[in-house]
Amino acid sequence: MSDKSPVSSGISGLDTILNNLTKGDNVVWLSPSIKDYSRFVAPFVKQAVQDKRKIVYFRFASHENLIPEECRSYVDEHKLEAGVGFESFTKEVYSEVERHGKSVFYVFDSLSDLLYEWVTDAAISNFFMVICPFLYKLDTVAYFAILKHYHSFETISKIRKTAQVLIEVFNREGTHYVHPHKVFGKNSPTMFLPHECRDEENFIPIDNSYLATKLSSTLCAVNRSILNRRLDSWDRIFMEAEKFEQGSGNRSDSEIVNRIIKALMGRDEKILSLVKKHFTINDLLEIKNRMIGTGFIGGKAVGMLLARKILYNTNPGKWEEQLEPHDSFYIGSDIFYTFIIYNGWWDIFMEQKTDEGYFSAAKRLEELIMQGDFPEDVKDEFHEMLDHFGQYPFIIRSSSLLEDGFGNAFAGKYESFFCPIQGTRDERFEDFIHSLKKIYASAMSEDALSYRIERGLKYEDEVMALLVQRVSGSYHGYYYYPHVAGVGLSYNTYVWSKDIDPDAGMLRIVMGLGTRAVNRIEGDYARIVALNNPSLVPLSDKDNMFKYAQKDLDVLDVRSSGKHMVSFYMLDKENIPFDLNWIAERDFDTMRRLADSGGEVKDIWVLTFNKLLKSKFPAIMSDMMNTVEDEYECPVDIEFTLGFLDSESYVINLVQCRPLQANASDAKNIKVKKSAGDKILIETEGNFMGGNVCDYIRRVIYIDPTKYSTLSTTDKHEVARKIGEINRQMTVKKKFYTLVLGPGRWGTTSPELGIPVSFSDINNMYGLGEIEYEAGGLMPELSFGTHFFQDIVESNIFYLAVFARKDGGFIDSEYFKETDSVTKELVDVSKAVEETIRVIDFPKKTLYLTSNIKTQKLRLFIKHSS
């Protein structure tokens, strides 16, 4: 049962005005200085000590200690670091309050001091709106202070609505006054008048108009800057930056830039050092002008902007001509917190931060987010942004705090959504809000949360900002798409020929939206490009080149939401809005065969990208990525689009850039001398990824291609599940050095093309091998650059593909089929699945995997025992 008994403030005159404080009261002092706030804290604490109350002091500000020296031994002082950020700070306060329980008294340092670290008023009001109701529920009494003229009217209004008691403090010519603005549940004829504080017992109301007017006019004369008082701290610091840019500022360039960068660009120190090097005040002001809300713009937005600045600063003439300007908006991270708090979900949000609620509370939040709403002022800003884009398609992309930083790409873990609808303003707004909430919900997905555990980020703050970009492209009837899109990597660890220089980088390109470049698409293929030798293809003969070409493309249909797939062959080639010869060529052999058989003779085009790859394009892309790599001091991973302007020219849009986790190490510690008696199980030339290795393997999981191809779809999914069970028996820290081999593509969603595992089903494996099985239509896909492969790279999983028909390709399938299997000792399986999954264990230092980037040789062999 709630205890709302009266409590003394320690000042009898104030108690008389307020009819005492009440348990549950959060008392906010709107004060001109810390000294004025301290005048009221000291008697409150002394009275609480006298009444033998439990008192907690949250100490986080740079101002003097507020607790009277003689009382400090009776007070539990809890020190906090504002620099950890809003979420961690709020979580720590919340946890401490929860730990202390009911009827505790609290004193907080001035909340205004948090602005130095947090910069934004939204963070201050959000903190108060979380903590105040929690304190009220626990029948506490808490003192807070906010300094006058530090915060916007909107912030004061939110705090006023949430607090139980709000008292303004001011002084005139040495006389102190208090003016209660809110006292929850109480009233009197003079309670809300200004009161002169003559002594502790006598607080005299200003109850005639002459004195009230005289006092008011004096205060207004002191505080003339009404405009400044209306501004959020966020706006004020950018106003200071504008003054400096115009030559009229008082503070140094570096001081202003450092504060803005810290508040805007995240916490990755390596990224921040590059931002400080390449961004000017004017660059930061341009970002602010395109922001909705406040806070961080997130890793994806920072990566895109930083890569562009590096290029422009290195060679402005070249890149301003070659690159399409971006037209992006940024939805700040504070909007995410505001959304959670506005909808009353902070308790669940905190529960999700615990071990017990990590997945279960996230599931509830994931569902609730789709039902949530935004404050009206936020929706107004969304409308303004949508008016800017008009009927042009745009994409909303996740841009979380941890995303696209050094060591953590979060590739494919969070959602992105296209908004192409050309409907009414309300229809476009509804589509946008629905997509936005789906991205917020993806932050709570099991896949994203599991990734955070694997990367050691479970307890790190992770908040979702959003990057909104105009989609590069042009219209083709109702369809809208970029002419070419793709991903690029400045270091190519996946090499299939001695003629490939890994340092030159590689591309994975498609026609249409780049979604087909970052995902493994059933029955379709992107063009893989080694930038030092663009004419090379992994499967070199012309028949294979045409067979494994892109056949479908992803486009936007302005009549409906999201992306759509259309067949390249069904497009009206005559009306494609650019010269198709740039990216396709006619298949004259097929056309001739049709003519010979009496069929309809028409042009048959195949997407090879050969003309584009014979232009300056490969050199431009290699230069682009290497320039950024030099500044990052590590390989980079980019996403881009390309649009043809006319028959001779094109522009490139760099839409994403992040550090690439590439394993390009030299051979490892183990040294093995080969001998004539070694038994070769696999031998390939090229077609591997993972650098130079020499490791022993303790276990091979071999999926028999012949058996697998005859299984039912249900049994094929069972194969994937059982591999996942075996995988989960291992741990990241204690890898069993297991190599898993299977036909076709790993990670496909179609069992007819490979093994339909998710990454969490193979994340503890040492290595992953894809085997060609032509009879069953199962073919590896050299899809380095996709999200699935990004997970493999980040987890340092070795990859190989075995093409037994190619020169130098060999696999001893009979050995894996005939050697004793321990499958049934590990998992319960049906007879058909047991015969398909062969788990073979090897004694230590018996089976070895070696690879050499320079010679392009890979071997898996059993060491001959002499």
136-142: average pLDDT? 96
Alpha-carbon distance of 702 to 120, in angstroms, equals 56
- Is 70 exceeded by the pLDDT of residue 92? yes
In the chain, the amino acid numbered 262 is K
- 596: confidence class by pLDDT, cuts 50, 70, 90: confident
**Given this model, what pLDDT does residue 433 score?**
96
Q: What pLDDT, in 10s, does the model give residues 425-466?
A: 899 999 999 999 999 999 999 888 988 887 788 888 889 999
Alpha-carbon distance of 724 to 771, in angstroms, equals 19
93-103: average pLDDT? 96
**Given this model, what pLDDT does residue 732 score?**
47
Q: What pLDDT, in 10s, does the model give residues 831-863?
A: 999 999 999 999 877 899 988 877 778 899 998
Q: What pLDDT, in 10s, does the model give residues 360-391?
A: 999 999 999 999 999 999 999 999 999 999 88
| The CATH fold of domain 235-471 | Dna Ligase; domain 1 (3.30.1490)
Name the more confident of 723 and 865: 723
Residue 673 DSSP SS3: coil
Considering only CA atoms, which of 388, 410, 586 is closest in space to residue 468? 388
**Given this model, what pLDDT does residue 225 score?**
46
Q: Residues 482, 514: contact at Cβ < 8 Å?
A: yes
Q: What is the mean pLDDT of the chain?
A: 87
Q: Specify burial of residue 291 (Cβ count, 10 A radius: 0-12, 13-18, 19+).
A: buried
- 102: confidence class by pLDDT, cuts 50, 70, 90: very high
Name the more confident of 460 and 130: 130
- 224: confidence class by pLDDT, cuts 50, 70, 90: very low
Q: Residues 490, 635: contact at Cβ < 8 Å?
A: yes
**Given this model, what pLDDT does residue 42 score?**
97
270-282: average pLDDT? 92
Q: What pLDDT, in 10s, does the model give residues 518-563?
A: 776 666 778 889 999 998 876 555 556 666 788 899 999 988 888 8
User: Model-level pTM greater than 0.85?
Assistant: no
Q: What pLDDT, in 10s, does the model give residues 288-347?
A: 999 999 999 999 999 999 999 999 999 998 999 999 999 999 999 999 999 999 999 999
Alpha-carbon distance of 32 to 40, in angstroms, equals 13
Q: What pLDDT, in 10s, does the model give residues 657-687?
A: 998 765 544 444 445 556 777 899 999 887 8
- Is 80 exceeded by the pLDDT of residue 209? no
Q: Specify burial of residue 558 (Cβ count, 10 A radius: 0-12, 13-18, 19+).
A: middle
Q: Which of these CATH numbers, 3.40.50.300, 1.10.240.10, 3.40.1260.20, 3.20.19.10, describes 6-227?
A: 3.40.50.300
- 775: confidence class by pLDDT, cuts 50, 70, 90: confident
- Is 80 exceeded by the pLDDT of residue 249? no
Q: What angle do CA 158, 162, 165 make, to 5 degrees?
A: 115
Per CATH, the number for 485-553+562-659 is 3.30.470
Torsion of CA 624, 625, 627, 630, to 10 degrees: 180
Name the more confident of 27 and 415: 27
Residue 409 DSSP SS3: coil
- 1: confidence class by pLDDT, cuts 50, 70, 90: low
**Given this model, what pLDDT does residue 233 score?**
81
* Per-residue exposure over 462-497, b if at least 16 CB sit within 10 Å of its own CB, e if not: bbbbbbbbbbbbeebeebbbbbbbbbbbbbbbbbbe
Considering only CA atoms, which of 726, 678, 675, 729 is closest in space to residue 700? 726
Q: What pLDDT, in 10s, does the model give residues 728-749?
A: 888 644 456 899 999 988 888 8
205-228: average pLDDT? 63
**Percent of the chain scored above 70 by pLDDT?**
90
Residue 735 DSSP SS3: coil
- 182: confidence class by pLDDT, cuts 50, 70, 90: very high
753-771: average pLDDT? 89
Any idea where the domains of the chain sit in the sequence? 6-227, 235-471, 485-553+562-659, 679-862
Q: What pLDDT, in 10s, does the model give residues 492-524?
A: 876 767 788 888 998 999 999 998 887 766 667
What is the DSSP secondary-structure string of 300-324? HHHHHHHHHHHHHHH-HHHHHHHBP
- 218: confidence class by pLDDT, cuts 50, 70, 90: low
Q: Residues 694, 672: contact at Cβ < 8 Å?
A: yes
Q: What pLDDT, in 10s, does the model give residues 621-643?
A: 999 999 999 999 989 999 999 99
What is the DSSP secondary-structure string of 462-476? --EEEEEEEPP-EEE
Least confident of 21-30, 606-615, 718-727, 796-805: 796-805
Instruction: For residue 419, list its beta bridge partners.
Output: 394
Q: Residues 663, 692: contact at Cβ < 8 Å?
A: no
Alpha-carbon distance of 765 to 755, in angstroms, equals 15
**Given this model, what pLDDT does residue 821 score?**
92
The secondary structure of 370-400, three-state, reads CCCCCCHHHHHHHHHHHHHHCCCCEEEEEEE
